[in-house]
Structure 1
Amino acid sequence: MDAVSDFDPARYLSDDLLERIRGRAAAVDAGNVFPDDDLAELRAAGYLAILVPRDLGGAGLSLAEASVLQQRLAGAAPATALAINMHLVWTGVAKVLADRGDDALRFVQEGAAAGEVFAFGISEAGNDLVLFGSDTAATPQPDGGYAFTGTKIFTSLAPVWDQLGLHGLDTTSEDAPRLVFGFVPRTDAVRTRDDWDTLGMRGTQSRTTELHDALAPANRVVRRLAPGPNPDPLVFGIFSVFELLLASVYTGIARRALDVAVETAHARTSKKTGRTYSQDPDIRWRIAEMALAYDGMLPQLEVIARAIDERADHGALWFAKLSGLKHRAVTSAKRVVDEAMLVAGGSSYFTRSELSRLYRDVLAGQFHPSDPESAHSTVAAAWLGPVDPA
């Protein structure tokens, strides 16, 4: 994971810290609890502000560098990495906007530098429009703020966030409808259901969030946009950083599965031949397949991350490239973990096995936007044009 030159990941995620996080991951998963100790150590290490500029108290890292770090964190504890991802999405969006001369999310950067946790509240049950529509009502207030009422799902960091970035639909203003993006603090108007009991990624505690006239003050309302696809930099920032950092987490899982498979192949001995499984031609083929898939994941991450950092202009192809990046990373990671399970044999099927946990965790990737159907639709439209109306 040394794709970014002159950058030492251990400076921000030391080996000792990662081993402590890895050592807690199994208990977090088994207990279905939030990794509070991981968050405390990451906050103390300044990790919440890795994408915040130095002059605002952060590390001033690039998205390419953050991608490497998230791969590294995911190799220790995928659920912790995925939870932190959602905070980093907002600091990453703030960076994307600031790099393009827009300081609308400066308060996110300042808050992250002070240790605040920002959560991502976009997903809604049955809303396949995602960023381009919302079933949450956004009601304008006399002071320019908005009251949000609705239900958000998969709200990672649910027990610990300080500010929730979200969107809703304003249907009452003169220029309605308008999608409203803003941030609400944790108050009694926000209720978190204790309903996160899942197959994997249990430590994210991505619970359902109910909004009951949750107020975003005027200085925390960052956009009012027409519904539907929109070239606004905020939409691009959310989509690009979300897809990039998701792909990074699942790439990190793939690397850990590969490492565990290699260790297991060297440790297991065949009764039939008396040699380690690392000498078995079938096992060697599987390990090679895993390595071939993993090696292909790294350059695509770096190229896309650098393109965002350097403000490359891919025009209408941007969303296809980003959807494709996330889709390839997730499907490749799942194949790698599948192969690792077969290399390790029956012992990997026990819940005490790290590979068993990685196997369950990697499955979550297919449910994040862009899902396989959306990714293929986006790429097809980019290359073939829109579907003709019936």
Structure 2
Amino acid sequence: MSDFDPALFLPDELLGRIRDRAPVHDRENTFPQQDLDELREAGYLSILVPKERGGAGLGLEQAAILQQRLATAAPATALAINMHLVWTGVAKVFSDRGVPGLEFVQDGAVAGEVFAFGISEGGNDLVLFGSDTSAVPTGDGGYAFTGTKIFTSLAPVWTKLGLHGLDTTSADAPKLVFAFIERTDAVVTGVDWDTLGMRATQSRTTRLNGAVAEAAHVVRRIDPGPNPDPIVFGIFSVFEILLASVYTGIARRALDLAVQTVRQRTSKKTGLAYSQDPDIRWRIADMALAYDALPPQIAALARDVDDQADNGPRWFTLLSGVKHRAITMAKHVVDQAMLTAGGGSYFSANELSRLYRDVLAGAFHPSDPESAHATAASAWLGPLDS
């Protein structure tokens, strides 16, 4: 890691262009197609693909650093790209552990395909452990999926959607089926993404009307409920770490903007820069102390995934915990940055105003605060008495 240079994958010039476009996409509620095109051209979609398959061969630890860097320029672009990187990250978890089945994801990413994440369903708090989407066998090893997925980031551009559904008709049912589908007439993308923040992700609702996954793209059939299968660990570990990375990047940008603002503003009362005001200095320090804790935590957990460390049952507490801490830290830092920068940050043209709206989305990603706390309580106190 010591010789890893994030600027080789995300040069300052590229970040500058992405940053310049971010307020436009937020204001117009549009997908950042140019960002995707430039990132694809730079090989960013295949950073987690092994070199022998044509990718950059980076680990999750390095990808987490890059996603923090990308989020400082455009949080919504970073969050959208996150969902593609989750699947390539899961493919890496599989290949690192000698588990076959996701090589087509790696090859597709190198070829420029865009993989979206179709797991979330309205009202389904089981998330990875259950599904309200039906998965019906087609008779040739494939499955037809019918149901509704929400928060489907990359909705206008994905070429393959990774999803899950419940098979209730096979002899060994029920089974959760994880698979990938392509865009067909059986997939209807809504036009319902008009949100407070993270607007450029275009995470629209997706309705499936018998959308078919071919046998070659059916990845896993597992029992519903908590399960040690690599698909569950792969999705949960990569998803939580990369989410934590995006929101940590937002916090870093808010901190940098606050520092920049107080250095430029001068007090009429004292004639000194606001950076010399003891109360403002305390607030900046408070932000920095909160932010500084997260990058090393994310790096340590990502390194454990890369190195196949055995954290046993503690994995889910560690992963949900780092996501929860990143979200609460980022919201706190952005709150403090708004107060530090003053009333000008309340105007919609101010970047901090956009960060303030974007950071709120973090609370709606799994694991939610209730789940994170329940997981930690069970780890330390044992399960609830029945």
User: After the TM superposition, which residues 309-388 of structure 1 pair with which residues of structure 2 at under 5 Å, given as runs?
Assistant: 309-388=306-385
Q: Partners of 2:165 and 2:241 in 1: how far apart? A: 24
Q: 1:5 offset after TM fit, Å? A: 1.4
Does structure 1 residue 134 correspond to structure 2 residue 106?
A: no
Q: Partners of 2:345 and 2:101 in 1: how far apart? A: 48
**Match of 1:277?**
274
Q: Deviations over 1:209-252 (max 9, x none)?
A: 00000000001001111100000011100000000000000000
Q: 1:68 offset after TM fit, Å? A: 0.3
Q: Partners of 1:56 and 1:111 in 2: how far apart? A: 10
Q: Partners of 1:68 and 1:369 in 2: how far apart? A: 21
From 1, 22, 25, the counterpart of 1:28: 25
| Structure 2 residue identity aligned to 1:11 | L
**Match of 1:46?**
43
User: After the TM superposition, which residues 1-390 of structure 1 pair with which residues of structure 2 at under 5 Å, given as runs?
Assistant: 4-389=1-386
Q: Tell me which stretches of 4 or more aligned residues in structure 1 moved more than 2 Å.
A: none
Q: Deviations over 1:117-155 (max 9, x none)?
A: 000000000000000000000000111100000000000
| Structure 1 residue identity aligned to 2:160 | Q
| Count of residues in correspondence between the two structures | 386
Secondary structure at the counterpart of residue 313 of structure 2 = helix
Q: 1:36 offset after TM fit, Å? A: 0.4
Normalized against structure 1, the TM-score is what? 0.98
Q: 1:373 offset after TM fit, Å? A: 0.4
Gaps of 5+ in 1: none
Q: 1:104 offset after TM fit, Å? A: 1.1
Identity, % of aligned positions: 74
Q: Partners of 2:73 and 2:252 in 1: how far apart? A: 10
- Report the more deviating stretch, 374-383 or 211-220: 374-383
Q: Partners of 1:32 and 1:175 in 2: how far apart? A: 45
Q: 1:299 offset after TM fit, Å? A: 1.0
Q: Partners of 2:304 and 2:118 in 1: how far apart? A: 26
Q: Partners of 1:309 and 1:385 in 2: how far apart? A: 29
Normalized against structure 2, the TM-score is what? 1.00
Q: Deviations over 1:144-178 (max 9, x none)?
A: 10000000000000000000000000000000000
Gaps of 5+ in 2: none
Q: Partners of 1:385 and 1:181 in 2: how far apart? A: 30
Secondary structure at the counterpart of residue 132 of structure 2 = coil
Q: 1:103 offset after TM fit, Å? A: 2.3
Could you say what the CA RMSD is over the residues aligned between the two structures, in angstroms?
Answer: 0.5
Secondary structure at the counterpart of residue 147 of structure 2 = strand
Q: Partners of 2:375 and 2:118 in 1: how far apart? A: 23
